[in-house]
C-alpha cells in the first residue's frame, strides 16, 4: 500500500537534522530574516516552488507548493518561524530522542516535520490530486509585531494570491485541536468628577475605591455565574480574569481614576462586541451609585473558532493519527487563542491544529521528541493523501 511506503520513507533522523538547522538560527520576533532565508532554501532543496512575500524589509512569509495533478482540494500546512527570546541561552543539542533549544517545540520542529512529510510523499512516488501548500509566517509571538505575518497571509488569501480549502497549523499537542474560545483584553475605568482631594473631606462611602471594590465583587459574581452556565464540552466554562488594578497617587488623596485590566474568554456563538457590552452593563449601575463615569474598553480581541468534528479535514487527520499511532486522536478545545482564530475569521477557511507536542513551549528548557516529530510528519503526509486525494 502507498500509505505504508510513505510511512517508511519518512525519516526521523532527517527531520531532526533539519530541526536543529532551524533552531541554530536565532529568530526572535522581528529578527527572523536569517531563518526565513534558511527555510526558503530548505523548501527549494525539496524541489518546491517558493513564493516570497515581504512583510517588512527582510522579514518574509514563505509560500511553497507541492502541485497536485488536479481534481482535489488544496490543503495548507502552516506555522511560524519566530520564537520568544532565549533568556537562558540554552544550547542547541541532541540527547538521545530529544532535541533541545529555543524553538524546538514552538515551533521549528513542526516546520521541519512538514518538510519531512513532503519528502516522504516524494520518495514514495505519491502524486496528490489537490495541491499541498507549505506556508511559514513571521510575527507570531511578540506583541510588537501585531501579528503582521499571519495578517499578511490572510490578505494574500483574500486577494487570491494564494488559495486553499483547509488549513492545519502544525503546532500544539498531537491531538485534534478544533476550537478555541474568543479572548479580549479589557480595561474598566471609573472616573470621579470631583477630582483628587484629601480623604478627610470625603466620606468613605463616596470614595471611588469603594466602588472599585463593588466592581471586583460583581466580577466575582459573574465568574460564578459562568461556572454554572453553559459549559463548552471541549474548553469548559467561560472565564473572566483580572491582572492589573490601578488607583490613586497618594495615601491620603482619593483617586481620580481607578482601572481594572484583565481578560475575558468566551465560547463560540457570540462576538466580542456583545461580550464588551455585557461588561459595560455590569459596571454602569456601580458608576451611577457613585456618581462616577464608567468606561469599558477593549485593547485587542480574537473571535472564537470551532471546526466541526465531521469536517473532511478533521476526519482525514483523525484517520491518519489512527493509522500512524494505532490509537484514537483526542479531540480538544482550549481557552487560549492563536492564529487559527485569525485565519477562520479573517479568511473564512476552516482550520485546526495538530502538532508534534507543546509541553515545553516557552519553557526555560525547551525540547521536542524526534519520535514525535516523525509521527507528526507521517500524520501530515497521510492526512494530505486522504484530504487532497492521490494517484
Residues 240 and 116 in one domain: no
State the average pLDDT over residues 18-45: 97
In angstroms, the Cα distances linking 352 to 29, 82, 379, 382, 385 are 23, 20, 14, 16, 17
User: What's the CATH code of the domain at 233?
Assistant: 3.30.70.360
pLDDT digits (tens, 9 = 90+) for 72-128: 999 999 999 999 998 776 789 999 999 999 999 999 999 999 999 999 999 999 999
Residues 88 and 43 in one domain: yes
Identify the residue whose cell numbers are 492521490. Answer: 390
Q: Cα–chain-centroid distance for residue 12?
A: 26
Q: Which residues are within 8 A (CB) of 235 and not within 5 positions of it... i.e. 6 or more apart?
A: 179, 180, 181, 267, 333, 334, 335
Residues 296 and 320 in one domain: no
Residue 54 burial class via C-beta count within 10 angstroms: exposed 0-12, middle 13-18, buried 19 and up: exposed
User: What's the CATH code of the domain at 328?
Assistant: 3.40.630.10
Structural domain for 113, as ranges: 2-179+305-388
Output the pLDDT for position 202. 83
Q: Which residues are within 8 A (CB) of 210 and not within 5 positions of it... i.e. 6 or more apart?
A: 204, 290
Residues 258 and 344 in one domain: no
Q: Is the pLDDT at 131 greater than 90, yes or no?
A: yes
Residues 92 and 148 in one domain: yes
Residues 109 and 243 in one domain: no
Q: 302, 330, 353: which is the final residue of a domain? A: 302
CB 350 within 8 A of CB 344: yes
Q: Which residues are within 8 A (CB) of 273 and not within 5 positions of it... i.e. 6 or more apart?
A: none
Output the pLDDT for position 200. 87
Name which residue leads in pLDDT, 180 or 144.
180
Q: Is the pLDDT at 203 greater than 90, yes or no?
A: no
DSSP class per residue in 262-326:
EEEEE-TTS-HHHHHHHHHHHHHHHHHHHTEEEEEEEEEEE--EE--TTSHHHHHHHHHHHHHHS
Residues 204 and 274 in one domain: yes
Q: 252, 282, 302: which is the final residue of a domain? A: 302
Identify the residue whose cell numbers are 473571535. Answer: 303
E-assigned strands of 112-223?
132-137, 166-169, 176-180, 182-192
Residues 28 and 101 in one domain: yes
HSE (CB half, 13 Å, CA atoms) of 324?
A: 28
Output the pLDDT for position 90. 76
Name which residue leads in pLDDT, 43 or 250.
43
Domain count, the chain: 2
CA distance 329 to 177: 10
Q: What is the DSSP letter of 94?
A: E
Output the pLDDT for position 254. 86
Q: 267, 302, 337: which is the final residue of a domain? A: 302
Output the pLDDT for position 84. 94
Confidence class for position 1, pLDDT limits 50, 70, 90:
confident
Output the pLDDT for position 201. 80
Residues 335 and 289 in one domain: no
Residues 218 and 111 in one domain: no
Q: Which residues pair with 353 in a beta bridge?
A: 169, 177
Residues 237 and 357 in one domain: no
In angstroms, the Cα distances linking 221 to 94, 157, 206, 262 are 50, 43, 23, 16
Rg of the chain (C-alpha set): 24
- Percent of the chain predicted with pLDDT > 90: 89
Residues 82 and 172 in one domain: yes
Identify the residue whose cell numbers are 541532541. Answer: 94
CB 354 within 8 A of CB 113: no
Q: Is the pLDDT at 288 greater than 80, yes or no?
A: yes
Amino acid at each position: 500500500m502507498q500509505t505504508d511506503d510513505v510511512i517508511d520513507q519518512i525519516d526521523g533522523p532527517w527531520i531532526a537534522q533539519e530541526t536543529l538547522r532551524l533552531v541554530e538560527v536565532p529568530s526572535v520576533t522581528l529578527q527572523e530574516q536569517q531563518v526565513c532565508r534558511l527555510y526558503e532554501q530548505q523548501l527549494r532543496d525539496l524541489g518546491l516552488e517558493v513564493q516570497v512575500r515581504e512583510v517588512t524589509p527582510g522579514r518574509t512569509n514563505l509560500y511553497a507548493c507541492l502541485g497536485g495533478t488536479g481534481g482535489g482540494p488544496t490543503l495548507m500546512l502552516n506555522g511560524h518561524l519566530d520564537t520568544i527570546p532565549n533568556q537562558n541561552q540554552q544550547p542547541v543539542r541532541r540527547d538521545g530522542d530529544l532535541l533541545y533549544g529555543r524553538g524546538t517545540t514552538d515551533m521549528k520542529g513542526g516546520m521541519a516535520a512538514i518538510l519531512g512529510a513532503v519528502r516522504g510523499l516524494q520518495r514514495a512516488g505519491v502524486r496528490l490530486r489537490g495541491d499541498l501548500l507549505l506556508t511559514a509566517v513571521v510575527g507570531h509571538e511578540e506583541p510588537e509585531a501585531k501579528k503582521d505575518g499571519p495578517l499578511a497571509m490572510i490578505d494574500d488569501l483574500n486577494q487570491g494570491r494564494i488559495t486553499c480549502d483547509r488549513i492545519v497549523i502544525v503546532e500544539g499537542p498531537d491531538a485534534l485541536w478544533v476550537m478555541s474560545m474568543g479572548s479580549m483584553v479589557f480595561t474598566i475605568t471609573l472616573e470621579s468628577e470631583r477630582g483628587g482631594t484629601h480623604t478627610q473631606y470625603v466620606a468613605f462611602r463616596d470614595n471611588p475605591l469603594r466602588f472599585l471594590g463593588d466592581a471586583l465583587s460583581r466580577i466575582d459574581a459573574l465568574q460564578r455565574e459562568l461556572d454554572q452556565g453553559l459549559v463548552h464540552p471541549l474548553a469548559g466554562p467561560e472565564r473572566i480574569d483580572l491582572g492589573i488594578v490601578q488607583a490613586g497617587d497618594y495615601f491620603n488623596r482619593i483617586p481620580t481614576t481607578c482601572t481594572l485590566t484583565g481578560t475575558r474568554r468566551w465560547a463560540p456563538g457570540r462576538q466580542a462586541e456583545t461580550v464588551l457590552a455585557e461588561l459595560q452593563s455590569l459596571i454602569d449601575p456601580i458608576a451611577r451609585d457613585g456618581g462616577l463615569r464608567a468606561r469599558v474598553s477593549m485593547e485587542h480581541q480574537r473571535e472564537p473558532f470551532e471546526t466541526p468534528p465531521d469536517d473532511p479535514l478533521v476526519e482525514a487527520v483523525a484517520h491518519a493519527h489512527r493509522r500512524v499511532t494505532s490509537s484514537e486522536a483526542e479531540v480538544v478545545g482550549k481557552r487560549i487563542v492563536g492564529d487559527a482564530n485569525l485565519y477562520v475569521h479573517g479568511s473564512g477557511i476552516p482550520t485546526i491544529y495538530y502538532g508534534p507536542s507543546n509541553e515545553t513551549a516557552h519553557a526555560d528548557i525547551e525540547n521536542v521528541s524526534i519520535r514525535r516529530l516523525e509521527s507528526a510528519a507521517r500524520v501530515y503526509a497521510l492526512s494530505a493523501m486522504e484530504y487532497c486525494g492521490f494517484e
